[in-house]
């Protein structure tokens, strides 16, 4: 079973996919988007394949960076080069970036509730050790809200989390829902009485934010959100993304967990 998890989970997680766009205008700006392999990448994939394909040229092969997730120093280095115009990042990685690099700003949340908790014997008594991703304190806060003092967060690199759970080194995990579909256990949503949990935000270079290509991207993003609210479209987009075999049952669990794509705050596209 561990080998199976590794084949499905580890290889996609160890890269940050960079989607390349070219402007229709010969001298127009090039748009590069950094996206970790996670639920938030599904909408970017949908935009690339179905919403912007007619308006921009897309390279058949994606360029990749050897990084485990947006919270690693390698991912932050990739952004520090300035090569990426846009990036999808967890909130804390995004905040660290803009604190260090004034060229970027956070546009706003783009995905909520995409992290879930998976545990064995949810109703069982006893203290739980639950793996969380390194440098993501919001996941620790989630555990405190759900379990109080009955759980201890065990930070580790994201690629190790499914293995730690499979080997029973921990009793539960906080993971992206796409990985959550691949492990056995009780899945618990990250949303609560206080509302949704912002799991990914959109970051943009300030100079690129004023470009027509960025506005076109946001317009496509808005339409994509509306499309993906339909179960049939979500199922088709998920199958196209290709992480694993999707079904209507997984779409129902996605909805039950409250996973949603959101338009970044403060963006009035028709201003």
- Residue 122 belongs to a domain with what CATH number? 3.40.190.10
Q: Same domain, yes or no, for 78 and 27?
A: yes
Which domain CATH number covers 41? 3.40.190
Task: List CB contacts of 47: < 8 A, sequence separation 6 or more.
Answer: 217, 220, 221, 224
Domain annotation covers residue 3: no
Number of domains in the chain: 2
Range of the domain at 168: 115-188
Given a cut of 80, is residue 17 above it in pLDDT? no
For 61, phi then psi, to 5°, come to: -110, 130
- Listed range (2-6, 160-164, 244-248, 267-271) with the worst mean pLDDT: 267-271
Given a cut of 60, is residue 18 above it in pLDDT? no
Q: Same domain, yes or no, for 91 and 108?
A: yes
Say if CB 50 and CB 40 are below 8 A apart: no
Q: Same domain, yes or no, for 96 and 120?
A: no
Q: What is the mean pLDDT of residues 188-192?
A: 92
Domain boundary among 188, 215, 242: 188
| Banded pLDDT at 114 (limits 50, 70, 90) | very high
Q: Same domain, yes or no, for 80 and 141?
A: no
pLDDT digits (tens, 9 = 90+) for 211-243: 888 888 888 899 999 999 999 999 999 988 876
Q: Same domain, yes or no, for 209 and 102?
A: yes
Q: Same domain, yes or no, for 202 and 70?
A: yes
pLDDT at 216: 84
pLDDT at 151: 93
Domain annotation covers residue 163: yes
Q: Same domain, yes or no, for 137 and 212?
A: no
| Banded pLDDT at 7 (limits 50, 70, 90) | very low
Q: Same domain, yes or no, for 206 and 102?
A: yes
CA distance 251 to 110: 19
Q: What is the mean pLDDT of residues 92-106?
A: 90
Q: Same domain, yes or no, for 19 and 98?
A: yes
Q: What is the mean pLDDT of residues 73-88?
A: 72
Say if CB 111 and CB 39 are below 8 A apart: yes
Domain annotation covers residue 269: no
CA distance 179 to 182: 5
Among the listed residues 112, 116, 115, the one whose alpha carbon sits nearest the alpha carbon of residue 261: 112
Q: What is the mean pLDDT of residues 8-17?
A: 37
Q: Treating both helix axes as pointing N-terminal to C-terminal, what angle do 212-228 and 231-241 enclose, rounded to 10 degrees? A: 120
CA atoms within 13 A on the CB side of 1: 10
pLDDT at 23: 41
pLDDT at 212: 85
Q: What is the mean pLDDT of residues 190-202?
A: 90
Domain annotation covers residue 124: yes
Domain annotation covers residue 121: yes
Q: Same domain, yes or no, for 69 and 201?
A: yes
Q: Same domain, yes or no, for 128 and 175?
A: yes
Q: What is the mean pLDDT of residues 105-115?
A: 94
Given a cut of 80, is residue 190 above it in pLDDT? yes
Domain annotation covers residue 43: yes
pLDDT digits (tens, 9 = 90+) for 60-80: 322 333 334 555 555 666 677
Q: What is the mean pLDDT of residues 102-108?
A: 93
Given a cut of 80, is residue 149 above it in pLDDT? yes
pLDDT at 241: 81
Domain boundary among 188, 213, 246: 188
Domain boundary among 145, 165, 188: 188
User: What value does the mean pLDDT of the chain take?
Assistant: 78
pLDDT at 256: 96
Q: Same domain, yes or no, for 75 and 163?
A: no
CA distance 74 to 83: 14
Strand segments, DSSP code E, in 60-205 are 63-65, 86-89, 104-112, 115-119, 128-133, 151-156, 172-176, 186-188, 198-205
The dihedral formed by the CA atoms of 21, 15, 73 and 189, expressed in degrees to the nearest 10: 100
How distant, in Å, are the alpha carbons of 12, 27, 204, 244, 268 from that of 207?
A: 31, 16, 8, 37, 18
Task: List CB contacts of 227: < 8 A, sequence separation 6 or more.
Answer: 46, 50, 233, 237
Domain annotation covers residue 141: yes
């Amino acid at each position: 079973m561990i080998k199976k998890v590794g084949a499905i989970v580890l290889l996609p997680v160890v890269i940050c996919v960079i989607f390349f766009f070219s402007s229709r205008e010969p001298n127009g700006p090039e748009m590069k988007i950094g996206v970790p392999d996670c639920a938030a990448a599904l909408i970017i994939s949908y935009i690339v394949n179905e919403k912007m394909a007619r308006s921009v040229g897309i390279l058949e092969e994606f360029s990749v960076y050897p990084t485990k997730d947006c919270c690693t120093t390698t991912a932050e280095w990739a952004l520090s080069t300035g090569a990426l115009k846009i990036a999808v990042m967890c909130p804390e990685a995004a905040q660290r970036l803009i604190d260090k690099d004034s060229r970027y700003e956070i546009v706003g949340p783009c995905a909520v509730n995409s992290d879930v908790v998976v545990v064995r014997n949810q109703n069982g008594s006893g203290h739980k050790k639950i793996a969380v991703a390194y440098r993501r304190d919001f996941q620790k806060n989630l555990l405190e809200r759900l379990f109080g003092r009955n759980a201890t967060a065990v930070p580790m690199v994201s690629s190790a989390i499914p293995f730690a759970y499979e080997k029973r080194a921990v009793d539960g995990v906080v993971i992206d829902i796409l990985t959550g579909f691949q492990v056995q256990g009780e899945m618990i949503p990250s949303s609560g009485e206080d509302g949704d949990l912002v799991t990914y935000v959109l970051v943009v270079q300030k100079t690129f934010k004023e470009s027509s290509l960025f506005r076109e991207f946001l317009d496509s993003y808005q339409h994509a959100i509306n499309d993906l609210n339909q179960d049939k479209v979500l199922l088709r987009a998920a199958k196209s993304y290709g992480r694993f075999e999707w079904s209507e049952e997984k779409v129902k669990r996605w909805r039950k967990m409250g996973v949603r794509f959101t338009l970044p705050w403060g963006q009035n596209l028709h201003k």
